Structure 1
Amino acid sequence: MSVNNLPKKQVSGYIMGMVPLTIIIGVFRLGYIKFFYDSLGLNEVLFVVGMTIFMIINMLNDPLIGQWQDNTDVKKWGSRRIVYIKWFSPL
Structure 2
Amino acid sequence: MSDTKLPRKQVSGYILGMIPLTIILGVFRLAYLKFFFDSLGLSVFWTIIGLVIFMFINMTNDPIIGQKQDNTNVEKRGSRRIFYIKYFSPFL
How has the CA–CA distance of structure 1 residues 54 and 63 changed in structure 2, closer, same or farther, with 3 Å as cutoff? same
Within the alignment, does 1:70 sit opposite 2:86 as a pair?
no
- Count residues with an aligned counterpart: 91
Provide the residue aligned with 1:53 in structure 2.
53
Alignment TM-score, normalising by the size of structure 2? 0.89
Determine what percentage of the aligned residue pairs are the same residue.
68
Alignment TM-score, normalising by the size of structure 1? 0.90
Cα offsets for 1:21-77 (capped at 9, x unmatched): 011101110111012112221111111000000001101111111111111111111
Provide the residue aligned with 1:5 in structure 2.
5
Amino acid at match of 1:17: G
- Helix, strand or coil at the partner of 2:80: coil
Structure 2 unaligned segments of length 5 or more: list them: none
Structure 1 unaligned segments of length 5 or more: list them: none
User: RMSD between aligned alpha carbons?
Assistant: 1.5
Provide the residue aligned with 1:83 in structure 2.
83
